[in-house]
Amino acid sequence: MKTYAMMVLGCKVNDYEAAYLKEQMDQDYEEVNFKDKADIYIIFTCCVTNIAESKTRKFIRQARRHNPDAYVVAVGCLSQARNDDPVFDEVNLIIGSRHKDKIKEYIDSAINANMVESLTDVQFENLYLHNYKRKNRAFLKIQDGCNQFCSYCIIPYSRGRERSGQMPDIINAAKQLALNSPEIVLTGIHTGRYFDGKHHLVDLLKELEKIEGLKTLRLSSIEINELTDELLTFMKESKKMAHHLHIPLQAGSNHVLELMHRPYTLEYFFKRVDYIRTLMPGISISTDLIVGFPSESDQDFADTLAFLKKIRFSFIHLFPYAAKKGTLACQMPGQIDPLIKKDRERAVIALQKDISLAFKESYINKKAEVFIEKNTATHAYGYTKEYIYTAIKGNFKIGDIVKVKLIGINDDTMIGEICY
């Protein structure tokens, strides 16, 4: 039996698409570690950050070194946006944001081709899994592409315009996944803009709520202006929706938000978050933040720190700005010195550490439900519906939801005590 190795870079959408291909490949090929010699190497590429681009090139070259005669496949965003990069001369099959549903067919035939095409009128491809590789939690891609064109972002150029899967197809896929995965995370490039021509995200969620065996529904990420009152009311009343929202902020300065082409002001963002917390007290709200954006002044950054103190996110995914060729921000004046970016990163990390700790401390002596993800010799670990990582003494079945009282914190982990 021929062997294959897979390397996945980038976002949860890439991870999902790779899981779809793995399910197909495992029917006829044996998977081996990427560090080993394989007949076929598959790299799911990413170009959101310069680091991701660099890693993509490294793994393509590494595959060719492991086996000079191997069949090498590059899939995804870097393949779409930069397929003229010299590194792709070492690749047999180049797949961009189209034809991901046919990759195994091309591999079986050992086609040597650059399959990257224009993203005009690209359609949603039904990459639906039967069984997700992680038994406890399954990701389900419901949407792809983006129409927002933030000035720093390459995604509209690498994944194309927004498109969504049809609701009946997604429901059927979710029912299949729920047979083995009691939690489903809905994912996409712009999940909150899900629309299949008839149904919006809240319509889909209401139907997914009815699936037998599904215990928890979670959104991977959603923009603040997509959190409608109807969606938030459904979240509050739902017995399955996780009380955690990841809402990208990106900057804590109205000046920088305008330069980024973000579709909201700080005032609007704060007002909506305040409403969400009034509706669902104790909800976890996390975010993405970029520091060192072109023309971000000392005052802009001071405004960001002040806003973070005021809004108090449960945690932050923090990124230093990196210029991306092909984006508007790459050509902007006022590019920030890397040392200043690093200083600003450190300042945000120091501030957020205390805020995140205070958020966890607010849960001490409260009851919660923990979704078990792993076991060690002495403890089980998992996340609450508010996405708080928790340790519980004892051993439990992966996928169980265990009721606990949160009694303390050890480093970044909450300590739970079983409630009988």
Structure tokens at 402: 């265990």
pLDDT at 135: 58
Asked if 287 and 316 touch (Cβ cutoff 8 Å), the reply is: yes
3-class DSSP state of 273: helix
Report residue 211 as tokens. Answer: 């699936």
Transcribe 29-73 into DSSP letters.
SEE--TTS--SEEEEEE--SSHHHHHHHHHHHHHHHHH-TT-EEE
Q: Tell me, what's the pLDDT at 134?
A: 60
Q: How many residues does the chain have?
A: 420
Angle (deg, nearest 10), helices 266-279 and 229-237: 30
CB 397 within 8 A of CB 372: yes
Q: Which phi and psi angles does 138 have, rounded to 5°?
A: -115, 140
What's the rounded Cα separation, in Å, for the pair 242 and 281? Answer: 13
Instruction: Name the nearest CA neighbour of 81 among 100, 63, 94, 99.
Output: 94
Taken in order of first residue, the domains within the chain and their CATH numbers are 3-114 (3.40.50.2300), 137-361 (3.80.30.20), 367-418 (2.40.50.140)
DSSP letter for each residue of 139-157:
EEE-EE--S---TT--HHH
- Taking only the tens of pLDDT, the chain with its 420 residues reads 999 999 999 888 998 999 999 999 999 999 999 999 999 999 999 988 888 889 999 999 999 999 999 999 999 998 998 888 888 899 999 998 989 999 999 999 998 988 888 888 888 988 888 877 665 788 999 999 999 999 999 999 999 899 999 999 999 999 999 998 889 999 999 999 999 999 999 999 999 999 998 999 999 999 999 999 999 999 999 999 999 999 999 999 999 999 999 999 999 999 999 999 999 999 999 999 999 999 999 999 999 999 999 999 999 999 999 998 889 999 999 999 999 999 999 999 999 999 999 999 999 999 999 989 889 989 999 999 999 999 999 888 888 889 999 999 998 899 999 986
Report helix, strand or coil for 114: strand
For residue 393, the SS3 value is strand
DSSP state of 85: S
Residue 72, CA distances (Å) to 34, 106, 187, 377 in order: 12, 12, 27, 40
- What is the rounded distance in angstroms from the CA atom of residue 193 to the CA atom of residue 196? 10
Indicate whether this model's pTM tops 0.75: yes
What is the chain's Cα-based Rg?
22
Between the CA of residue 176 and those of 57, 129, 160, 169, 173, what are the distances in Å? 36, 8, 28, 11, 5
Q: Cα separation of 83 and 390, whole Å?
A: 43
Nearest to 98 by CA among 7, 17, 187: 17
In this prediction, residue 129 carries a pLDDT of: 83
Residue 262 tokens, joined: 């973000």
Cα three-residue angle 385-286-335, rounded to 5 degrees:
160
Per-residue pLDDT, 262? 97
The Cα 170–Cα 141 span in angstroms is 9
Give strand pairing partners of 409: 414
Which residues have a Cβ under 8 Å from the Cβ of 400 and sit 6 or more positions away? 371, 372
Whole-angstrom distance, CA of residue 251 vs CA of residue 292: 10
Say how far residue 75 (Cα) sits from the centre of its chain: 17
Query: Shortest CA distance to 44 belongs to which of 3, 80, 84?
Result: 80
Q: Please give the torsion angle defined by the CA atoms of residues 268, 280, 283 and 417, in that order, rounded to the nearest 10 degrees.
A: 170
